[in-house]
Amino acid sequence: MDLDIRRSKVTHSTFGGGPHRCAGLHLARMEAIVTLQEWLARIPAFHVKAGTNPVFRSGIIAAVDDVHFEWAPIAAAVG
């Protein structure tokens, strides 16, 4: 259950391949990176809610369909 956004050599076909490669793949990847960076900068103290499990699906494109987060109280998050 670890998320490593710095992992390398990810093999999937999310953006297609060969002559069918998505023309916007670089923009889409950058948007995902910026979204995660901004999310973590603004909401650093969160975790998956106890008693719940993320719901994943796979296929040509893997996705997380459902995940329940809980945020720490503001005083605890600040320190």
Higher pLDDT: 10 or 72? It is 72
Residues 41-57: tens digit of each pLDDT: 988 788 999 999 999 88
> In sequence order, what are the residues at sequence separation of 6 or more whose Cβ sits closer than 8 angstroms to the Cβ of residue 71?
43, 45, 46, 77
State the pairing for strand pair 69-71/46-48.
antiparallel
Record the pTM: 0.52
- Name the residue among 67, 31, 63 with its Cα closest to residue 48: 67
* Alpha-carbon dihedral sign for residues 31, 37, 41, 47: positive
